[in-house]
Amino acid sequence: MKFLQTLAVALVFSQAVSAQKQDSIMLRKIFDEALVNGKSYQNLEYLCKKIGPRLSGSANAQKAVDWTKQLMDGYGFDKVYLQEIMVPHWVRGAKEVAKIISGSKQFTVPIAALGGTVATPKAGLTAQVIELKSLDELKTLGERAIKGKIVFFNRAFDPKPIETGTSYGEAGDQRRSGPSEAAKYGAVGVIVRSLTHAIDDYPHTGATTFNQGGLNIPAAAISTKGANLLSSLLKSGPVKFYFKQDCQWLPDAVSYNVVGEITGTEKPNEFITVGGHLDSWDLAEGAHDDGTGVMQSIEVLRILKALNYKPKHSIRAVMFMNEENGTRGGKKYAELAKQNSEKHIAAIESDEGGFTPRGFSFEASPALVKNLNTNWKSLFEPYEADRLTVGGSGADIGALGDSIPGVVLIGFRPDSQRYFDIHHTPNDVFENVNKRELELGGAAMAGLVYLIDQHGLPAGN
């Protein structure tokens, strides 16, 4: 009996070793396919150079929908289809103008209207500036100090966190909620220090949110050099700020998520989603944000198909629409998943740039992530993409997590150092993407999809 037990243990162990070996071979094939025959880089070039900026509701966003559908049709995926949604439609209008007025001196500074804000009067807006470092100071200072002024939020990125997303998260309230909060205290406009470590002349746009019915005031990001200048001038006395922006809201527009699918051979109604967002800010090509994510997602399916891999579960690449200013694509995807009684095992989002992969973060229990480290870390180690941690995923798949019980949300985690140098600026262009970094990321995602398809994810997230 003891002998049989030992034999059984040995057998299970040898099967485990053999599975590990098979997985290791498959991951090497995936990376080879990505590095030798990869298509994500040329596809990204098309998206960036032939289509370009593609904010929700724009003609370019529609072109991007049409082209990615056509691309996936061409790859012969089992299903390629659109999910219709209504998206917000905000336009920047004429390029912004801004000046610091300090005594008799004027300094032109680079600004960019924040997405979702309104135009200044046609002649522009001039008011005295008050510099704050946090939203809390609004309350401390009160309406008397703020009314009629332009509030200048100037809390810099903290240099100490190793991952730049942490600093972005910490400073981000200034852009996201600063304008709406300042409006409540009577501010006539808001200028926000650009959300970046870099000290340069590029303003970083991005969404700001006004509650339904809340007062919408003109608000813009100022470059970090501009912010430093404004702050230094404020030290020597009162300063006025002049700015002019031309943005407006148009009626909601029809748009689409684009979905490609390889249908599962064993459990076709159980899904693993990989996705990024197809829309991008209007100032640049949306290369790292998030052209790389959508091209990697398509690449995951292309790689698996090229290797003639027949997944057990259905694998979907989703180009979500409207991450930047509404996440309506993500919400629609979740809504339809629920409506169609789909079972979702996992969803992976790539929306932190197409840089060298470092690993993945899981919105899951430490126990699950410990299991993954025990079983899968060594498989990713040769590809230097083996940091498997508890952490966030992505804005587009959040709604899926809320709608579908049991789905594990996963964020693709590339190296974070360069992302916020170019994020939401005119520098987010194809030339700033490295071919191999992009390909390695797509391969890492394909590897994870393969492992989840083969072995599932331990429960308990």
The one segment of 112-120, 209-217, 324-332, 381-389 that binds its own copies by CB under 8 A = 381-389
Gap between the Cα atoms of 396 and 344, Å rounded = 15
Cα gap 296→43, rounded to integer Å: 10
Q: Which stretch binds its own copies (CB under 8 A): 46-54, 159-167, 248-256, 271-279?
A: 159-167
Out of 436, 455, 459, 460, which residue is the one contacting its own copies (CB under 8 A)? 436
3-state SS assignment for residue 294: helix
Binding residue for its own copies, selected from 159, 213, 237, 405, defined by CB under 8 A:
159
For its own copies, which residue of 387, 390, 395, 456 counts as binding (CB under 8 A)? 387
Question: How far apart are CB 32 and its own copies at their closest, in Å?
Answer: 6
C-alpha closest to that of 196 among 234, 160, 157 = 157
For residue 329, the minimal CB distance to its own copies (Å) is 31
Residues 353 and 171: their CA atoms lie apart, in Å, by 19
CA distance 97 to 243: 6
Between CA 311 and CA 96 the distance in angstroms is 50
Question: Total residues at the site for its own copies (CB under 8 A)?
Answer: 26
356 binds its own copies (CB under 8 A): yes
Site for its own copies in 169-228 (CB under 8 A): 197-198
Please list the alpha-helical segments (H only) found in 268-322. Answer: 292-306
By the rule CB under 8 A, 384 interacts with its own copies: yes
- 58-66, 70-78, 125-133, 417-425 -> range binding its own copies (CB under 8 A): 417-425
Asked if 42 contacts 423 with a C-beta cutoff of 8 angstroms, the reply is no
- The nearest distance, CB 425 to its own copies, in angstroms, is 15
Name which position in 4, 36, 59, 123 contacts its own copies (CB under 8 A): 36
Among 20, 35, 336, 426, binds its own copies (CB under 8 A): 35
How far is 319 from 68, CA to CA, in rounded Å? 8
Nearest CA to 429 among 40, 55, 48?
Answer: 48
Burial (CB count <10 Å: 0-12, 13-18, 19+), residue 290? buried
> Is residue 440 a contact residue for its own copies (CB under 8 A)?
yes
For residue 342, give the 3-state DSSP assignment: coil
Which of 231, 365, 373, 417 is the binder for its own copies (CB under 8 A)? 417
Beta bridge pairs of residue 255: 85
By CB under 8 A, is residue 63 in contact with its own copies?
A: no
280 token code pair = 């991008």
Asked if 218 and 113 count as a contact pair (C-beta separation under 8 A), the reply is yes
Binding pattern for the stretch 289-328 against its own copies, x by CB under 8 A and - elsewhere? ----------------------------------------
Name the DSSP class of 207: B
Contact between 49 and its own copies by CB under 8 A: the answer reads no
45 vs 261, beta carbon nearer its own copies: 45
Closer CB to its own copies, residue 1 or residue 162?
A: 162
User: Between residues 39 and 418, which has the closer beta carbon with respect to its own copies?
Assistant: 418
| Residues 172, 191: Cα–Cα separation, whole Å | 13
Taking CB under 8 A as the rule, does residue 435 contact its own copies?
Answer: yes
Q: Residue from 358, 401, 403, 442 that binds its own copies (CB under 8 A)?
A: 358
Structure tokens at 229: 């200048």
The kind and range of the H/E element at 459 are none
Q: Does 29 bind its own copies (CB under 8 A)?
A: no
Identity at 94, one-letter amino acid code: A
What are the backbone angles phi and psi of residue 47, rounded to the nearest 5°? -60, -40
- What is the nearest approach in angstroms of its own copies to the Cβ of residue 351? 19
The footprint of its own copies (CB under 8 A) covers 31-32, 35-36, 159-160, 162-164, 197-198, 356, 358, 382-384, 387, 415, 417-418, 421, 434-437, 440
